[in-house]
Structure 1
Amino acid sequence: MYAVLETGSKQYRVAPGDTLEVEKLPVPAGQPFVFDRVLLVNQDGAVKVGNPTVANASVSAEVVAHKRGEKKLTFKMKRRKGYHKTIGHRQALTVVKINAINV
């Protein structure tokens, strides 16, 4: 059994027991969280596709930790002009462990 959920404008394929990193959620570590935007559920070969979401479907998870992702560097330069600029970004992430898929 697996589901496709949407959070942070990204889609994730999850199954019970999976651990994944999503964009930061406003929940403290150790607390449960329920994802309501479930786009697809596969239950032993019976696929339910939402329009846009599956009705009465949710994914329950537990927040494990909050962390920051790896640093992404961007370098801008215009040749022969003496212009160069370095920009860095680190995304705030939440690690969640999927407990169950409820249909």
Structure 2
Amino acid sequence: MYAIIATGGKQYKVAEGDIIRVEKLNLEAGATVSFDQVLVVNNGELVVGNPTVANASVSASVVKEGKNKKVIVYRYKRKSGYHKKNGHRQPFTMVKIEKINA
């Protein structure tokens, strides 16, 4: 059984027991979160939502919050001596999928 959920502007294919990284949710570790935007559910038969599946949700628990590896952003303009170096670490929330309610 799997489901496709939407959160943080992205879509994730999840099954029970999966651990995924989603955009930061501002929740403490151990908190419970419910994803209501379920696009597809497959539990033997495929149910596709229009745009979401009615009365379907995915419950998960927060494992931890953190930051991804640093991405270097380097800008320069040739012949003018302009150089600028920045770094960015995107925050994330790691969640464990507990149950798919279809």
* TM-score, normalising length: structure 1: 0.96
Residue in 1 that maps onto 2:17: 17
2:19 partner amino acid? T
- CA offsets, 1:47-72, max 9 Å, x none? 11111111000000000111111111
Query: Do structure 1's residue 42 and structure 2's residue 42 form an aligned pair?
Result: yes
2:4 partner amino acid? V
- Cα RMSD (Å) of the superposition? 0.7
Query: Do structure 1's residue 75 and structure 2's residue 66 form an aligned pair?
Result: no
Distance 1:102 1:57 in 2: 5
Residue in 2 that maps onto 1:56: 55
Q: Measure how far apart 1:31 and its partner are.
A: 1.1
Bigger shift: 84-93 or 8-17?
Answer: 84-93
Q: Measure how far apart 1:26 and its partner are.
A: 2.3
Aligned-pair identity (%): 55
Q: Measure how far apart 1:36 and its partner are.
A: 0.5
Distance 2:6 2:86 in 1: 29
Distance 2:51 2:88 in 1: 32
Gaps of 5+ in 2: none
Q: Which runs of 4+ in 1 moved over 6 A?
A: none
- CA offsets, 1:56-100, max 9 Å, x none? 000000001111111111111111110111121111111100001
Q: Count residues in correspondence.
A: 102
* TM-score, normalising length: structure 2: 0.97
- CA offsets, 1:7-30, max 9 Å, x none? 000000000000011111122110
